[in-house]
Amino acid sequence: MKKLTAVLLAFVMLACLFAGCGKTESGTPQESQNTETAYTPVNVENYGRTLTIKERPKAVVTAGPNCTEVMCALGLADLVVGDSVNNHSRGPLDQWASDYKSIKEINNGYPTLEAVVASGCDFLYAIDWVFEGDFTIEALEKYGITVYVCEATDYDGVWKELTDLGKIFGVEDTAATFISSEKDRISKVESTIKGETPQKVFVFDSDCGDGTVYTAGKPNIETAFIKTAGGTNVFGETDDAWFAVSYEEILAANPDVIVVHDYFDASYEDNIAAMKASPVLSQLDAVKNGRFVKLSLESAFPGSRSAYTVELLAKGIYPDFFK
């Protein structure tokens, strides 16, 4: 019996040797694991720089609610170890709320160098206007943190950034599918309002308290959203993304519709009250007729809300078309 058992064991070992027992087509279990984690370096152009990412980022910090939502939309929320600038937010959209709220906040306002470094992140995804003081790209890079800046001013810029992030994190298909969905939704809005004469739109971000109002200009992607939704930004030819305009200039522009931003420092209700209390702005037909469109501030940023924002604006500009 012992001799027979020995013969059988020898046969089994020989069979395993020829059949590759304990291996997969890609080699040993260890070799298979190496194959799964293999990463092809990615080169992308961003913020006037060429970034070379040699490894898939493992820990991400976001600066801007739009950046946080993009990570959620691409299925990457589990990589985000901290977020910031939530003081410019009224909260995430429903489809990303669960993932968004699970992310730790490292700063409510602008991120600080200390907080980002302390998070242990190796990648920062930040909207372009948060860099100030000692919080610079150069300072972050000294700590080995790769910085990708959200800087889009039009749709092509948004699609590029989503595509770049898809490549960097190895979720190209997810990014492509999301972009396709966004484009389809935007096209439906354009088809619905096709042929209509664009209405004049003014963006009321906040009252500066000195007889001027902060508003959006040409390089601001909100101007593109308004155009797609069937409007024309009355100050959309100004070369500044954000700037102050006088009450008198607003009165002279006589907008048909006013898009009113809503965020922590300037609520929709406070902005409406400021217009109605102003001897000048209260003369506007749009104010008298209540032609306001409420827009949370993060919906005016580039990112994952392009279609959502266009749909919301179109419903406010052409309510009869979207009943």
Residue 251 CA to residue 27 CA, distance in Å, equals 73
Residue 323: pLDDT band (50, 70, 90) is: confident
* pLDDT at position 230: 97
Question: What pLDDT digit, counting tens, does each position of 229-243 carry?
Answer: 999 999 999 999 999
- What pLDDT, on the 0 to 100 scale, is given for residue 8? 37
**Number of neighbouring beta carbons within 10 Å of residue 136:** 13
The SS3 assignment for 302 reads coil
What pLDDT was estimated at residue 37? 65
Give the whole-angstrom CA distance, residue 277 versus residue 217.
25
Residue pLDDT, tens place only, 143-161? 999 999 999 999 999 999 9
Identify whether the C-beta of residue 286 lies closer than 8 Å to the C-beta of residue 267. no
Give the tens place of pLDDT for each residue, 169-216: 999 999 999 999 999 999 999 999 999 999 999 999 999 999 999 999
What pLDDT is attached to residue 321? 92
Model pTM score: 0.87
> What is the 8-class DSSP label of residue 76?
-
Cα 179 off chain centre by: 12
Residue 36's pLDDT is 52
pLDDT at 15 > cutoff 50: no
d(CA 94, CA 113): 31
For the cut 70, the answer to whether the pLDDT of residue 311 exceeds it is: yes
Q: What is the pLDDT averaged over residues 44-54?
A: 97
CB 155 within 8 A of CB 310: no
Average per-residue pLDDT for the chain: 90
pLDDT at 187: 98
Mean pLDDT value of segment 296-319: 97
Going by pLDDT thresholds of 50, 70 and 90, the confidence category of residue 244 is very high
Check residue 32 and give its pLDDT. Answer: 31
Q: Is the pLDDT of residue 83 over 50?
A: yes
Q: Are 52 and 42 in contact (CB under 8 A)?
A: yes
pLDDT at 3 over 80: no
Pairwise pLDDT comparison (265 vs 129), residue with the higher score: 129
